[in-house]
Structure formats: structure tokens, C-alpha cells
Amino acid sequence: MSIESILTAVAPITVAGVVTVSVGYYLIKNDIDKYFRWRFAGKKDERTQLFALRLQAHERLIVFVERINPSNLLLRVYMPGISVPELQAAILNEIRSEYQHNVTQQLYVSERIWNVVRKLKDDTLAMVNNGVQSLPEQATGMDLSKKVLQQMAEIADNPYDLTLDLIKKDIHQLF
């Protein structure tokens, strides 16, 4: 057999194969397109949901920082005639409760942001406890409030504002 006779015999089979594959492709093309649209749309929906969760976590941490800021916290928990131990307990309980309410947000923010927020919480607790220790025994809740606000005024850069700025910068990196 010569090469010409082989090519003459194979050519119709090759043409038939190409025609069959082409017809098959056009018959299932819509199904293939639907599959890939569905497959990639699912990924996009997942990313959209994750983005929404991350944005919500940042929002909740902003609210947390605002709520534990002594200037806001003292307005919320102070009551006229409250004693130092009662005010201290109310403040510490409020901070811990807020923290526990937001602890899962660490899943959606950077480790750096979470560490800063956690340190701010710990520093706020320490500031209140240090304020109590520096007061005389006959001090009132008003004295503790003044002491804590005085300590805040002595800090050159407000740590609550710095934390809020850091969270906002982190949010802007998401966009």
C-alpha cells in the first residue's frame, strides 16, 4: 500500500470524525456554558458574602471601640450616687460583655486589627482598675469617672481614635 492509498482511505474517516465532534460540540455548547457560568457565579457569590461579613466585622469593631471609649462608657453606666466598687464592676462588666459579644469578629479582620482591639480592651480595663487603686477609700463614683477621664486627657494620642483610624484604613484596603 502506498501513502496515497492510505491517505485516500483515512481522509473520509478523518472528515467524518471532525464533523461528528463539531456537531457534538454545538449540541452541548449551551450546557457547557451554563455549567461554567454556574461554577464561577458560585465563587463570586462566596466572595461577595465574605466581603459583606468582613465589612460587617469592621463595622462592629468600630462600634465596640466607641462603646468602650471611657467618655462614652461612663455616660452610659454612671448613675448619681454610685459607689466606686459598683461603678468599677459596672464598667468592667460592660467592657467584658461587649468584648464577648464581638469576639467572633476576629475571623473576618486581620490579625493586626484584632490584636490592637484586644489590647485596647485590656488597656481600658487596666485604666479603670488603676484609677480605682489611686483613689482614697471615701471616693465616689464621680471621683472615679473624673480620674479615668483625667487619665485619658493626659494621653498624647487618643488610643481610641488611633484604633478607629487603623480599622478604617483596613476597610479601605478591602476596596
pLDDT in the model for residue 9: 56
For position 21, what pLDDT does the model report?
Answer: 65
- Measured between alpha carbons, how far is 134 from 143 in angstroms, rounded to an integer? 11
146 and 84 Cβ atoms separated by less than 8 Å: no
Provide the 3-class DSSP secondary structure of residue 82.
Answer: coil
So what's the pLDDT on residue 34? Answer: 73
User: What pLDDT score was predicted for residue 16?
Assistant: 61
pLDDT one digit per residue (tens) for the chain, 175 residues: 566 655 465 556 655 666 676 766 677 777 777 766 666 665 666 778 888 899 999 999 999 999 999 999 999 999 999 999 999 999 999 999 999 999 999 999 999 999 999 999 999 999 999 999 999 999 999 999 999 999 999 999 999 999 999 999 998 887 7
Return the pLDDT at 175: 73
Residue-level pLDDT at 22: 72
Which residues make Cβ contacts (< 8 Å) with residue 102, sequence separation at least 6?
60, 61, 64
Does residue 52 contact residue 171 with C-beta atoms inside 8 Å?
no
For residue 125, what pLDDT is reported?
98
Residue 126 cell numbers, joined? 487596666
